[in-house]
Amino acid sequence: MFPRFDIPLKSEREPNLLYYSWGEITDAYEKKNYKAEIYQIIKYFNQEVAKQIEPEKDINLEVKHANILLKIKVNDNGFSIKAPFLKITEDTNTIALLRKISEINFDSLNLPQIILADEILSFSYACPLELCRPSKILDIIKDICYQGDYFSPELKENYNAVYFINPSRKDLSANEKNNILESIRNILTDYDNCMQFFEKERLNEYYWDIITITLLKLENMPYFNGTLRNRLFDNLNLMYSDNEMNFRIDRAMAFIKELKAKTDEDLINCLYYANIFCSRLNFINQEKLTEYIENDRKRLEKLKQENRYLAITYDIYERLLNIIYLYNIDHRTKNKIYEALNQIKPNTPWKKASDILYELYFGLQKAKNKKKFNLLRLLQIIALIYIAIRILTVILEKN
């Protein structure tokens, strides 16, 4: 008994990170060309936004990220970023809200801080140009965007604040919403069926797997937003935490029960594409992906030797979804993962399912190894040709 996999609608949430530009960022910083460095960082995050500014010039950029307005300024006086995101009105529970803001500043934020001016709450940070280390500026922008994404809907809902700007979003069509709702219900139905199967067969050790897979499939949808997405995020973090296993399982099962009880109308309110400047996903190159997979080799090989096909399938199923959840991987790799997962149906034989995912998982690694092998062979051939030419030259000179 396995959960089915539906390929999500095309995501507009996460812009592709411009991986190769990182060298240009560090080069500009080392040459003390700080304006060019900030330009390249903006280009790294979002190529379309970078088209609004010129390299090596002063920057005065305003760009939306969901309901946050990022104001990035770079001139000879330094670097600054201010990002208003909430307004306080006469209906706002101001004292409780500011108490929460102080907690966020102390516990959740690193260098940026939330400030209050003219009844507007804004993330803020400034420093001289010579202190604009690339990793530092990268972390500041990510911190503002990530924490703003997470706390904005919570603060608005819990303290009756108002968004500074309406969320930059794209509403889905009625047909898209119907398809999404069907996909959500399928995910929850599969969860019920798998849990019933595990209970009947007394396979309690698989509760964590199916719960985590269910949460990952929901969180990987590009159209969940607002407080519901925050709840998904919190429960996923809990599943991967060091808390006692039964506590994690009980809390996540309670959340899924709440989710199942929601009406279509409740869910539809959370379904839209949020336009994003800064991706929440991390970059992973082929070397890191190979290392990620290699860490699982001994465990999976042991399971295969023991013919534990159900365990292999659930293990790799979760790992593949986790890769999609954490990393901004290339479309080719993502499509390979989608195609493999899509072959696993609820009644697929256990061995067949494990073989499909096992081959795909380590195939992602072999692709790189094959490339290295081919390069090595090419270098060997070149070396042999060079040696042969040298030997032939010596022979001809002697004659």
Residues 6+ apart with CB under 8 A from 318: 209, 212, 213, 216
pLDDT of 210 higher than 80: yes
Summarised one tens digit per residue, pLDDT across range 236-248 is: 999 999 999 999 9
pLDDT interval class at 2 (50, 70, 90): confident
Judge whether 365 lies within some domain: yes
Between CA 303 and CA 299 the distance in angstroms is 6
pLDDT interval class at 95 (50, 70, 90): very high
Output the average pLDDT for the chain: 89
pLDDT of 349 higher than 70: yes
Last residue of a domain, one of 112, 141, 163: 163
Note the pTM of the prediction, 2 decimals. 0.84
> Residue 141 sits in which domain range?
19-163
Mean pLDDT of 264-291: 86
In CATH, what number is assigned to the domain containing residue 58?
Answer: 3.30.1460.10
Summarised one tens digit per residue, pLDDT across range 293-305 is: 999 999 999 999 9
Summarised one tens digit per residue, pLDDT across range 144-194 is: 999 999 999 999 999 999 999 887 777 788 888 888 899 899 999 999 999
Last residue of a domain, one of 146, 163, 180: 163
Last residue of a domain, one of 120, 145, 163: 163
Judge whether 188 lies within some domain: no
- Give residue 384's identity as a one-letter amino acid code: L
Total domains in the fold of the chain: 2
Mean pLDDT of 38-61: 92
Give me the pLDDT at residue 368, please.
46
Between CA 186 and CA 333 the distance in angstroms is 25
Give me the pLDDT at residue 15, please.
76
Specify the range with the lowest mean pLDDT, choosing from 112-121, 147-156, 169-178, 261-270.
169-178
pLDDT interval class at 9 (50, 70, 90): low
* Co-location of 291 and 157 in the same domain: no
Judge whether 390 lies within some domain: yes
Mean pLDDT of 276-292: 87
Between CA 279 and CA 269 the distance in angstroms is 23
Judge whether 91 lies within some domain: yes
